Amino acid sequence: MTRVIGVEVDCPFTPGMLKKVVHAGSQSASFAAATKDLEALAEVKVSRERVARWTKRTGQDRIAHVDTAAAQYEALSLPARRKSPTDQVPQVACVMMDGGRIQIRDRSAEPKAGQVKGYWRESLVGCCVSMASDQHAEDPCPTIPKTFVDPQRMSDLSREIKGFSAHPETTAELPEDSPDDRPAKPQVLVRSVTATRAGADTLGRRLVADAHQRGFSAAKRKVLVADGAATNWSVHRKHFSDYTAIVDFTHAVCYVWTAAMAGRPSPEAWSDYTRWAQLLWSGQVDRLIAAVEIRQQQLGSPPEGEETSPAAQVAKTLVYLTNQRTRMKYDEYRKAGLPITSSHIESTVKQINRRVKGSEKFWDQGAEPLLQLAADHISETNDFDQFWARRHRDLAIMRCYQTAACIPQCAGYTHAGAMNWRAVAAPS
């Protein structure tokens, strides 16, 4: 028989039931869907409002815990930050960053007519990924993989990558296989995930604290892989300056594709593209820039403010290649056994978007705790399990505290507000 839960003023759930409610609220398509899932799978009725309230409250608790860890890291001395708090130091420590999409509820600033952005805003997602790989005396894959010289695949990929579509919020998703199908690529071991709408500085603070906790500081090979967005490299300069900086090859080759295909028949364009893509793959960026400059001379300079003409697309690629050239030594990265694409963060963003992104979903302050919980559920470390273990302990203490007969068993704890406890000296 289905039981009705959710009538008490304070937390109405047992620790185990609360975990189920939060899981449903953060993993189902919506809070309304979560209530149906709970009734079908756990045989309990929980109102949509209760699911939303306790999911968001738990997400806020997780955010507080993550931010506390970031503050503790920042309080360390520089020598302490360079030491690993764990013996499990990865061969390759990799940090990746990218952006997701989310709609906001704030209508205070109405979009202008024809404005594509509308109410869509960017969420920020980061991964700390431990990897294992061999190092090589020579480039283990000197020829560009077929994936990147397949006309249909490149056409699909250029539409998929953010920045190459006029409507990124409606872009169809590609299969989640990695475009980096080269031999001798690093083996992915464990991934931990961070997601936020609070800005790049918040993402950076949380990522570097997570990286330190996982022993990344002591790794011999450390790398940050991201697209060319300025916010990514501001995070790199501030928090990961000793990490090798790599621009995601997939994003870079899409710029090359766009420049090659702009304003001319496909056979001629394809010939140039395959040659340019191989130059990029080989790390010969100066030769690539020289070739694209010749194409720019053929088209002429674009009018000021013009963004869609072939000349403008080629000019944009030239700026991109020039600005990112020091982060495109792909042949050297492969010899060092480093990743050169951010395919893992791309798939991570898709997983998070399944909960928070949709044309019918509009978020206010509730987005941040949902992003945190979505990231927690796909992380492969035990941080979230430890959080629930602490939460179960604290809920048990609260129940005990509320029962007068159990007060002697609770020595060492004092109530500091609903759900919040702090340790105190036990009476002697």
Position 356 scores a pLDDT of 59
- Residues 366-389 have a mean pLDDT of 88
Distance of CA 140 to the CA centre of its chain: 29
**Is residue 183 pLDDT above 70, yes or no?**
yes
pLDDT tier at 10, thresholds 50, 70, 90: low
| Residue partners of 184: CB distance under 8 A and separation at least 6 | 133, 134, 136, 140, 141, 334, 337
Residue with tokens 């406890």: 421
Position 347 scores a pLDDT of 83
**Is residue 338 pLDDT above 90, yes or no?**
yes
More confident residue, 107 or 39: 39
- Residues 183-193 have a mean pLDDT of 92
**Is residue 405 pLDDT above 70, yes or no?**
no
Position 6 scores a pLDDT of 36
More confident residue, 334 or 13: 334
More confident residue, 368 or 421: 368
Tokens of 371: 């992003």
Half-sphere exposure of 216 (CA within 13 A, CB side): 27
Q: What Å distances lie between residue 228 and 151, 154, 262, 319, CA to CA? A: 24, 19, 21, 11
Position 68 scores a pLDDT of 95
**Is residue 246 pLDDT above 90, yes or no?**
yes
Q: Is the dihedral of CA 63, 64, 69, 71 positive or negative?
A: positive
- Residues 20-44 have a mean pLDDT of 88
**Is residue 378 pLDDT above 50, yes or no?**
yes
The whole-angstrom separation of Cα 408 and Cα 20 is: 31
Closest CA to 124 of 230, 17, 240, 8: 230
Distance of CA 394 to the CA centre of its chain: 30
Sheet with 92-103, edge to edge strand ranges: 187-196, 120-132, 92-103, 221-226, 244-247
Tokens of 216: 């990344």
Q: Please, what is the average pLDDT of the chain?
A: 82
Residue with tokens 């997939």: 250
Position 309 scores a pLDDT of 93
Position 348 scores a pLDDT of 86
- Residues 313-335 have a mean pLDDT of 97
**Is residue 361 pLDDT above 60, yes or no?**
no
Task: Report the 10 Å Cβ neighbour count for 333.
Answer: 20
**Is residue 287 pLDDT above 80, yes or no?**
yes
The whole-angstrom separation of Cα 81 and Cα 71 is: 12
Give the domain ranges of the chain: 1-66, 76-106+116-356, 382-428
| DSSP state at residue 217 | G
Position 31 scores a pLDDT of 85
**Is residue 391 pLDDT above 50, yes or no?**
yes
The whole-angstrom separation of Cα 164 and Cα 175 is: 18
Position 182 scores a pLDDT of 76
Position 368 scores a pLDDT of 87
More confident residue, 395 or 93: 93
pLDDT tier at 416, thresholds 50, 70, 90: very low
Position 118 scores a pLDDT of 54
Q: What Å distances lie between residue 234 and 111, 175, 341, 364, 409, CA to CA? A: 28, 31, 19, 27, 51
**Is residue 53 pLDDT above 80, yes or no?**
yes
> What are the DSSP calls for 245-264, one per residue?
EEE-HHHHHHHHHHHHHTTS
- Cβ proximity of 127 and 382 under 8 Å: no
- Residues 204-229 have a mean pLDDT of 96
- Residues 77-90 have a mean pLDDT of 93
Q: What Å distances lie between residue 276 and 70, 181, 295, CA to CA? A: 43, 19, 12
Q: What Å distances lie between residue 261 and 58, 152, 153, 244, 267, CA to CA? A: 49, 13, 14, 31, 9
pLDDT tier at 350, thresholds 50, 70, 90: confident
**Is residue 427 pLDDT above 50, yes or no?**
no
Query: Ranked by mean pLDDT, which of 40-54, 88-102, 119-133, 280-294 comes out on top?
Result: 280-294
Instruction: Provide, rounded to the nearest whole percent, the portion of the chain with pLDDT above 70.
Output: 77
Q: What Å distances lie between residue 376 and 22, 32, 192, 208, 388, CA to CA? A: 12, 21, 8, 16, 11
The whole-angstrom separation of Cα 299 and Cα 65 is: 55
**Is residue 194 pLDDT above 70, yes or no?**
yes
Position 422 scores a pLDDT of 38
Length of the chain: 428
**Is residue 210 pLDDT above 90, yes or no?**
yes
The whole-angstrom separation of Cα 248 and Cα 83 is: 28
Determine the straight-line distance between the first and last CA of the chain, rounded to whole angstroms.
49
Residue with tokens 């919506």: 30
Position 355 scores a pLDDT of 65
More confident residue, 162 or 147: 147
The whole-angstrom separation of Cα 198 and Cα 161 is: 23
Position 44 scores a pLDDT of 87
Position 52 scores a pLDDT of 87
Tokens of 73: 């890291």
